[in-house]
Structures are given as structure tokens and as C-alpha cells.
């Protein structure tokens, strides 16, 4: 099944810029089209460090998403999308090794309950045939990366398990699990750059059923030891509640000893490492529940959901809001960096009094210190009475285009799969 890259929905957009708050927003051309109609409601979720839409070393684009019957694989070559194998796993996470072989991780039930299985493409730069697969880990949410030495790393985190990882050298077998954090943690994202691995995840509070806290770990020696961003080495496994972990959602708050500090239901969305080897993190947060906040406390109205950007400089983490408008909710968001070091974000957003989320785009010319106004990529969510959700992005910007994908929160299966591009040059 091949799909040509056509179907222009919109060609330009303009939006007023809040003085002193955002960067000037140029007109940009973009298109978005429906690629498929067989997605799961959570088709492109989670993708805290990619694993859904990526550039292959042969210049093609690869994508994987969940369907009610398994994980669909797609490849875009010469502006045409071609469908590949349907893998017997859910919540797929994709990485490509240095030889061009695609690796897919996801949940599969072979009679023992759901476990994580790993499938490898049989040929480089091809998605039509995979091996028989192998069991890797207990049930959890997946992340994976390839080291500069060719080693494949798998990270897993689940509500009732620790965060841990296994490694597999080229031609070798999977190592035993090394636990990093004890406690209820979820949604890992990992990026490898040189000798360093950068890891984010969030905590889970089972009582009120809330995501609670966004955390960061780094290894400078291929996973042998782990530290905070200030190079303070940690003894692993770390107790999630010990206070030793680096809690990111205290950055920029007036009272860093208060883990909530005006932020509830924190959720990691994206991790990239830029050309200067600085990690960037996006996470969302909500207004605290059962607490007087915003107009209820006599202060200004505030959005229900916001997204915060963090960048780790030599002197610590710097923070900014992806959107400073007080009447706009911003939800799923992810980042890509171009050859000039500019950041590009695709997200879902809506006016706070609306019910459904559309897709939007913003950029930063100063590594995330300030952001342009959000420019709408779609405007039909309220008419459809459906929200665009679970944005995925190709972190590599090539040929002057940002590539992104999204499914739609349809509350039933199947869900549409959308693909789009934004021209930046």
C-alpha cells in the first residue's frame, strides 16, 4: 500500500505575537494528510525520546504505530509511503543500528501475560520481513537506544516495577537487568550521544492515580555508572522517594522543596540532546487539584494544561513555557533541531474554553529561552468533536522540513493516523 505525499490542507499561517513574550512568527508552508485509518487510540504513545518517527541512514523515513491488531511499520521513500510488516506487539518503540537494521520493541502476550519482545528486520533499510523475535523484559513501557560502540540498550519502566536496562553487544546476547530506580515509575525516554546516555522518566502516585515528578539521570560511561546532571554519582538502584534523584519539575519554582509547587500531574513528553550536547526536556503539568489556584485564589486565570521546556546548561537547568498565553491549553509536544541549532516544536493546543485539541507549531531561535506564538496546523478538532493526540516528530530535520505524525483521540478503535511536514527554509 503506497500513499503519495500530497493533499495540502493549508499553505500559510499568521498569528499575533505577544510583545516581549514570544519571537516573531514568519509565515511557513506546511501540509498534513491522513496516512492511515487503522491506528489505536494510543497509536503513537508514548514517545518520550522518539521511537515512533525517525530518519534512516539511507535517507528514508521510518514510522511505527499501534493498531488494534499489532504494530504497523511504514517507510517513506521518494515522497511515497510504503507499508511494511505488521508486528505482533503493542506500543512499538523503534531504533535503527549502524548497519541499517531496524529494531522494534513492544508488548506481546504469548500465554504468560504481556511481556516485552524485540524484533529485528532481516535486511538493512527494509521493513517487510523481521525475525522470529525474542523476549527481553517484563511488562513495562519501553525505550531503547544504540551506543556509539554499536551496543543496543533497552530500558523499561512500569507502574509496579523498577526502572532498569539491559544491553546487547553486536552479535551478543542480552545482559541481565540492571536496576536503576526502585519505586513506581513510568514512561522512560533515553538518548545516547557519544559516551553519554540521557534518561528521563516520571513517578507514579497510585493513590490519586497521578503522574508525579519528572526525573533525569545520565551515564557518562555507557551505563557503567549513573549520575545527576551536575555529575554527582548515584548508588543504584536509587530509591525513588529518597530525595537523591534529580527532580526536574522544581526548576524555576520559588519553593524547590515543594515537589508539586503549582504543578500537578506532571508527564514527560520529549527528550533530545542538541548539537552542543545539551539535553532538552519537555513535560506537561496541570493546575493542582483541590488547591485554590488561578482565579479561585484571586490571581489571573491560568490554562488547565501547560508544557514546560528545560535545557541543561553548564550552570544548571533553564526553563521556559512553550506557550505563555493564559487562555490556551498546550498538551502533547515534541522537539526537533535543525542544522542551524533552531528548535521546532509540534504540539496539541486549544483555547481553554474549547473542548478539543488541534495541532500547532512553534519555534525557538535561542535554544528554547523564548518561543514563537503557536501557529495552527489544523482547525477542525471542535467541528470533528475529536482531539488530535500523541504527537511524534522526526528529531532530525532534513531538506528544510520538520516531519511529524499524530493520531486522533477517537475514544474507539480504529483511529486516524496523520502525517505532516512544515517547511522551515
Q: Are 164 and 155 in contact (CB under 8 A)?
A: yes
Which of 39-53, 108-122, 194-208, 376-390 is least confident? 194-208
β-strands 328-337, 316-321 pairing: unpaired
Structure letter (DSSP) for residue 306? E
Q: Is 172 exposed, middle or buried (0-12, 13-18, 19+ CB in 10 A)?
A: exposed
**Model confidence band, residue 282 (pLDDT cutoffs 50, 70, 90):** very high
Q: Could you tell me the pTM of the whole model?
A: 0.90
Report the alpha-carbon angle 48-238-211, nearest 5: 40
Q: Are 20 and 7 in contact (CB under 8 A)?
A: no
Mean pLDDT of the chain: 88
At residue 87, does pLDDT exceed 80? Answer: yes
In the block, cell 487539584 appears at: 289
- pLDDT tens digit sequence for 353-388: 899 999 999 999 999 999 999 999 999 999 999 999
Give me the pLDDT at residue 17, please: 27
Tell me the CA distances in angstroms from 216 to 153, 260, 396, one per residue in order: 17, 17, 23
The mean pLDDT of 337-349, rounded to a whole number, is 97
CA–CA dist 64, 79 (Å, integer)? 17
Phi, psi of 279 (to 5 degrees): -75, 145
Structural domain count of the chain: 1
**Model confidence band, residue 298 (pLDDT cutoffs 50, 70, 90):** low
**Model confidence band, residue 256 (pLDDT cutoffs 50, 70, 90):** very low
CA–CA dist 106, 71 (Å, integer)? 8
Q: Which domain holds residue 305?
A: 2-423
235: CB partners within 8 A, 6+ apart: none
CATH of the domain at 347: 2.130.10.10
CA–CA dist 225, 332 (Å, integer)? 32
Phi, psi of 229 (to 5 degrees): -70, -20
At residue 207, does pLDDT exceed 80? Answer: no
Phi, psi of 112 (to 5 degrees): -115, 15
Percent of residues in the chain assigned helix, strand, coil, to nearest 5? 5, 50, 45
Give me the pLDDT at residue 251, please: 84
Give me the pLDDT at residue 203, please: 86
How many other CB atoms are found less than 10 A from the CB of residue 384? 14
Give me the pLDDT at residue 39, please: 96
Amino acid at each position: 500500500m503506497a500513499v503519495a505525499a500530497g493533499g495540502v490542507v493549508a499553505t500559510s499561517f499568521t498569528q499575533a505575537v505577544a510583545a516581549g513574550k514570544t519571537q516573531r512568527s514568519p509565515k511557513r508552508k506546511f501540509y498534513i494528510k491522513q496516512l492511515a485509518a487503522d491506528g489505536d487510540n494510543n497509536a503513537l504513545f508514548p514517545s518520550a525520546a522518539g521511537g515512533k518517527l525517525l530518519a534512516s541512514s539511507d535517507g528514508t523515513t521510518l514510522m511505527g504505530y499501534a493498531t488494534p491488531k499489532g504494530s504497523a511499520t511504514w517507510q517513506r521513500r521518494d515522497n511515497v509511503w510504503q507499508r511494511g510488516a505488521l508486528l505482533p506487539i503493542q506500543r512499538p518503540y523503534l531504533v535503527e543500528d549502524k548497519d541499517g537494521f531496524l529494531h522494534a520493541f513492544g508488548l506481546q502476550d504469548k500465554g504468560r501475560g504481556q511481556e516485552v519482545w524485540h524484533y529485528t528486520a532481516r535486511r538493512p533499510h527494509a521493513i517487510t520481513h523481521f525475525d522470529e523475535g525474542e523476549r527481553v523484559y517484563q511488562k513495562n513501557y519501553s525505550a531503547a537506544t544504540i551506543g556509539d560502540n554499536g551496543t543496543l540498550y533497552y530500558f523499561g519502566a512500569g507502574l509496579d516495577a523498577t526502572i532498569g536496562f539491559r544491553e546487547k553487544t553486536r552479535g551478543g546476547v542480552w545482559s541481565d537487568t540492571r536496576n536503576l530506580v526502585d519505586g513506581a515509575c513510568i514512561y522512560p525516554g533515553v538518548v545516547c550521544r557519544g559516551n553519554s546516555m540521557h534518561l528521563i522518566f516520571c513517578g507514579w502516585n497510585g493513590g490519586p492515580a497521578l503522574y508525579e515528578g519528572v526525573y533525569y539521570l545520565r551515564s557518562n560511561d555507557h551505563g557503567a555508572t549513573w549520575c545527576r546532571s551536575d555529575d554527582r554519582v548515584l548508588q543504584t538502584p536509587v530509591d525513588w522517594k529518597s530525595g537523591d534523584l534529580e527532580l526536574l519539575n522544581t526548576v524555576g519554582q520559588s519553593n524547590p522543596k515543594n515537589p508539586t509547587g503549582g504543578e500537578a500531574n506532571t508527564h514527560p513528553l520529549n527528550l533530545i540532546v542538541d548539537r552542543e550536547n545539551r539535553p532538552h526536556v519537555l513535560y506537561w503539568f496541570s493546575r493542582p487539584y483541590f488547591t485554590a489556584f488561578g482565579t479561585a485564589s484571586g490571581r489571573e486565570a491560568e490554562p488547565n494544561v501547560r508544557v514546560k521546556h528545560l535545557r541543561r546548561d553548564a550552570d544548571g537547568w533553564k526553563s521556559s513555557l512553550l506557550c505563555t498565553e493564559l487562555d490556551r491549553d498546550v498538551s502533547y509536544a515534541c522537539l526537533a533541531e535543525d542544522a542551524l541549532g533552531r528548535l521546532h516544536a509540534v504540539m496539541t493546543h486549544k483555547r481553554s474554553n474549547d473542548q478539543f485539541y488541534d495541532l500547532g507549531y512553534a519555534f525557538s531561535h535561542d535554544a528554547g529561552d523564548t518561543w514563537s506564538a503557536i501557529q495552527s496546523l489544523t482547525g477542525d478538532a471542535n467541528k470533528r468533536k475529536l482531539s488530535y493526540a500523541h504527537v511524534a516528530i522526526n528529531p532530525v530535520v532534513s531538506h528544510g522540513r520538520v516531519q511529524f505524525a499524530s493520531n486522533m483521540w477517537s475514544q474507539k478503535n480504529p483511529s486516524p493516523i496523520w502525517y505532516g511536514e512544515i517547511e522551515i527554509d
